[in-house]
Structure 1
């Protein structure tokens, strides 16, 4: 029998099948209620911060494209290689950090509120008439208990230590193995792309420690539901990159090396800004190493590492196959891929919001909020994807001329545009599903489901690229993103794992 409270509680799920979570309160998708405002305050700055780096890479691409198609293709291979190797370390680190920090901050906040409430109830320093904290005669009032303190978040310290180590390892790996890695990507020793690609990759790899550290810190701020601080830092760094690009490329005549140097400087600037802000909010020096929880990080991070390696192999393999088709194909693929990823990352802002809010809700066991949050961010993701699809379908053909004037490259870009535009709703849902499942700490399912998706996608890439060339690559990538979205849909839609409460 439904009580009056059950009937009037808008947050309580009114569905019998988990599948209906995707349609719950769909008419309120744009409503700026408390949840809508919370999502917007997290998602908008996060989306802008996430797209800032790909946009900076697009600016690099635009400047280098004016030098020539060979340099454009060379930098395209190097950026693809750097980004995919970085993702192997970045994605597990940032995703795990966001969830762990959100949980620890939520539990710590609940503990602090409980202690403060107990102090007020047992203390004699409360004016019972107006409930104000006014010291009464003869009472002992410890003001130190109410002074703002830096948060004690062990996961923040763990993330920085792990991020610094991984950044150094990545730099050493890419610098020492630049030539064989580029050979693997299809840039052979006799290719005109080899020298500029090796120059760009080697120099840009010097910024790997800064990239890993800055993204680890972004994961911490996301866990605090603060995405504005990372946005300000990222914009400051990327504006610096954009200003320095023409200076190093044209004024100092450093070519592709100048673009790499400008990017490295911007990454270290971002790291310094974030570290300065983080040190004012968090106690980063844990008194005991066991509090750093490396075991917890490594266990869940290794699961996501498996997942990211599967994703990385798919994207890297597609770039490698494009490079094997020649510099024209690689240049066109680079432009399409950068636009494809940059716009799709807008949906990652919703994923960040969903992950942070859901991690907090699951820590409190607030399943009502978990349900409505998952519904809202998924619905917003679909709408965002449809909007991006329309914008790219109508505007990318004109915008392609900003990256190159080569007629053959422009022709191939035109071939890829329908795929880039049409897949935006699928991409958006896939990214948001990731954030939702990470918010539920469902890392094992996320890892192993993606391995199966990758196996099927790699087979599609091999067959379709050899049969249909450039178009085949994009058909295979469309299949890949569709399977990713289906994997996320299946977990929640069937009410299994952490979502089994949907069936109760």
Structure 2
């Protein structure tokens, strides 16, 4: 422990031969000592070696005495990184400060200049605003590709008849529910864990070779020359994706009848046979769907959102081409639609694996290096969170259906637009998560502060802009979905819900991305369960008195409480965001000769 800590006793012993005692100015010392020992080592590791040896930095120390920093860089112990489970709260920080100050010597008396005004978190001065936008734009496109392909599939199936459309619609809803429940947690956890692993490798390489860490490769072609990285988080994500995918495939194929019964499709329903056949075929694509989402999380961890867009674009384009060929030319009907989708899903997965294999070793040399514990713990939290979200939204749909078919149709149009426009801020939240996980692992707190501030501002701007656009155009936009006058009347009555809630939605998604970035999965899950319980209670009772307006009120409150929960965590001085409330701009150390 002593060999890896900036304690006053260790420094005094090393400097006693000629440098003399050192003096730490108390204000700056409180700041520097509030950092974890591991973060201090990261700071030294990230400081360029030539700067440590430069006379302008070390001051009056002779060459013989400047080498006191070398063991801290080259012989340090294994670096640990600041994930949420190991963050210091404010009380822990104050306690550690008090313990450190007991060892601080009084004034040394000599005024030889030393390590003065060392910027702590400005090592590389990254342009995080440009980097955030560069990651967000492709992420938006990537999130839009799958819904567009599903829309095309629905359009082709709709030409076959209402029976086929209804049966396929029920099956798709079952498939999507199961997929979101298990796949979204893996996607989110993989993003943070891979970003942290990459930062570990960069810090080790910087400390041992004095090389600058490799920045984002987003949009840059991979030349195949750089060494492939061995990242346990990547291998773990792939193994878990395979296991979860096989489980989903078996559950959906063997339990298709049970799921259809739960959806109200009885054995004597005319939709039962085509729906069960469609769901069983789609189940074969479950392993590919899980793997592709896990791989998207891995690429986000690499700060690369363009490669997934390329793969998704190729796969979904193939699906759109296959739909009419298999459904009409080969007369396979709904079965042809399912086959087209499954083939495209495997194409996407194989393409992503091919690109990933160029930059990372897919499987570890031994299974012992896999990180199942961290994935299962964090994924378990997010599984509960996803279940709370899906349950609340499903309850809202159920309460709307009880208002009658016209009300349900109008609600469906409103909710689809409401969810679709959220892709903008959801993609930005994913970019925030990747950047924060990366820079936080390097101890670059000022950069994390900048990302947090900018993402919240642009999220609010996006939300307000969407509110204005939808408030003006949604009435006309609704005619693209239906021409029924009664349904349009219901839709127009929901304009206030769709538009006014957009700022709340935008900030709620951004806060999710921020908390995932610091691996605060436990808080995200617990907060969402509480929010979901409150919102569900409102959804159960409000529609009875207010009709469809009560459903929209409950959903608006749901998003508002999500936003409030995210804000309160950010304002807390005892959680993983403690550094937002501390001045980390500069840490000054004076050496007395």
* Normalised TM-score (structure 2): 0.69
Deviation at 1:281? 1.1
Aligned mate of 1:58, from 151, 155, 158: 151
Cα distance in 1 between the residues matched to 2:350 and 2:233: 20
Whether the 8 Å CA contact 1:62–1:402 is kept in 2: the answer is no
Identify the residue that residue 424 of structure 1 maps to in structure 2: 502
Whether the 8 Å CA contact 1:355–1:439 is kept in 2: the answer is yes
Cα distance in 2 between the residues matched to 1:211 and 1:416: 34
Alpha-carbon distance change, 47 to 286 in structure 1, aligned in 2, over 3 angstroms = same
Identify the residue that residue 523 of structure 2 maps to in structure 1: 445
Cα distance in 1 between the residues matched to 2:384 and 2:453: 28
Aligned mate of 1:78, from 144, 163, 171: 171
1:183 aligned onto 2:276: no
Mapping for residues 62-141 of structure 1, pairs under 5 Å: 62-65=155-158, 72=165, 74-117=167-210
Whether the 8 Å CA contact 1:105–1:224 is kept in 2: the answer is yes
Deviation at 1:247? 3.7
Identify the residue that residue 250 of structure 2 maps to in structure 1: 172
Deviation at 1:261? 2.9
Alpha-carbon distance change, 156 to 487 in structure 1, aligned in 2, over 3 angstroms = same
Identify the residue that residue 438 of structure 2 maps to in structure 1: 360
Alpha-carbon distance change, 427 to 186 in structure 1, aligned in 2, over 3 angstroms = farther
Alpha-carbon distance change, 501 to 429 in structure 1, aligned in 2, over 3 angstroms = same
Q: Indicate the SS of the match to 1:225.
A: coil
The alignment of Structure 1 onto Structure 2 pairs a total of residues equal to 451
Identify the residue that residue 121 of structure 1 maps to in structure 2: none
Cα distance in 1 between the residues matched to 2:524 and 2:385: 7
Identify the residue that residue 162 of structure 1 maps to in structure 2: 240
Q: Deviations over 1:110-137 (max 9, x none)?
A: 211222239xxxxxxxxxxxxxxxxxxx
Whether the 8 Å CA contact 1:73–1:330 is kept in 2: the answer is no
1:275 aligned onto 2:368: no
Mapping for residues 134-153 of structure 1, pairs under 5 Å: 148-153=226-231
1:239 aligned onto 2:317: yes
Q: Indicate the SS of the match to 2:519.
A: coil
Alpha-carbon distance change, 308 to 79 in structure 1, aligned in 2, over 3 angstroms = same
Kindly name which structure, 1 or 2, has the bigger radius of gyration based on alpha carbons.
2
Aligned mate of 1:41, from 128, 134, 142: 134
Mapping for residues 459-498 of structure 1, pairs under 5 Å: 459-498=537-576
Alpha-carbon distance change, 456 to 450 in structure 1, aligned in 2, over 3 angstroms = same
Structure 1 range deviating more: 249-258 or 284-293: 249-258
Q: Deviations over 1:437-492 (max 9, x none)?
A: 01011111111001101111221222234444544333322221111111111100
Alpha-carbon distance change, 237 to 49 in structure 1, aligned in 2, over 3 angstroms = same
Cα distance in 2 between the residues matched to 1:82 and 1:319: 17
Alpha-carbon distance change, 246 to 165 in structure 1, aligned in 2, over 3 angstroms = same
Alpha-carbon distance change, 62 to 423 in structure 1, aligned in 2, over 3 angstroms = farther
Q: Indicate the SS of the match to 1:60.
A: helix
Alpha-carbon distance change, 62 to 487 in structure 1, aligned in 2, over 3 angstroms = farther
* Normalised TM-score (structure 1): 0.81
Q: Deviations over 1:258-282 (max 9, x none)?
A: 4333322221111111011111111
Cα distance in 2 between the residues matched to 1:215 and 1:497: 29
Whether the 8 Å CA contact 1:45–1:231 is kept in 2: the answer is yes
Identify the residue that residue 577 of structure 2 maps to in structure 1: 499
Q: Give unmatched runs, 5+ long, in structure 1.
A: 7-17, 19-32, 119-145
Whether the 8 Å CA contact 1:103–1:363 is kept in 2: the answer is yes
Identify the residue that residue 214 of structure 1 maps to in structure 2: 292
Identify the residue that residue 422 of structure 2 maps to in structure 1: 344
Cα distance in 1 between the residues matched to 2:402 and 2:280: 22
Whether the 8 Å CA contact 1:55–1:342 is kept in 2: the answer is no
Structure 1 range deviating more: 437-446 or 393-402: 393-402
Q: Give unmatched runs, 5+ long, in structure 2.
A: 1-24, 32-89, 91-125, 212-223, 583-593
Superposition RMSD in Å? 3.0
Deviation at 1:96? 0.9
Q: Indicate the SS of the match to 1:497.
A: coil
Mapping for residues 325-340 of structure 1, pairs under 5 Å: 331-340=409-418
Whether the 8 Å CA contact 2:184–2:293 is kept in 1: the answer is no
Q: Deviations over 1:329-370 (max 9, x none)?
A: 555544443332222021112111111111112111211111
Cα distance in 1 between the residues matched to 2:488 and 2:352: 39
Whether the 8 Å CA contact 1:347–1:431 is kept in 2: the answer is yes
Deviation at 1:240? 2.2
Deviation at 1:294? 0.8
Alpha-carbon distance change, 484 to 64 in structure 1, aligned in 2, over 3 angstroms = farther
Aligned mate of 1:296, from 357, 370, 374: 374
Identify the residue that residue 436 of structure 1 maps to in structure 2: 514
Whether the 8 Å CA contact 1:56–1:238 is kept in 2: the answer is yes
Identify the residue that residue 457 of structure 1 maps to in structure 2: 535
Whether the 8 Å CA contact 1:58–1:338 is kept in 2: the answer is no
Alpha-carbon distance change, 306 to 329 in structure 1, aligned in 2, over 3 angstroms = same
1:318 aligned onto 2:411: no
Whether the 8 Å CA contact 1:62–1:403 is kept in 2: the answer is no
Cα distance in 1 between the residues matched to 2:270 and 2:483: 19
Structure 1 range deviating more: 55-64 or 473-482: 55-64
Alpha-carbon distance change, 415 to 172 in structure 1, aligned in 2, over 3 angstroms = farther
Cα distance in 1 between the residues matched to 2:510 and 2:156: 32
Cα distance in 2 between the residues matched to 1:399 and 1:82: 29
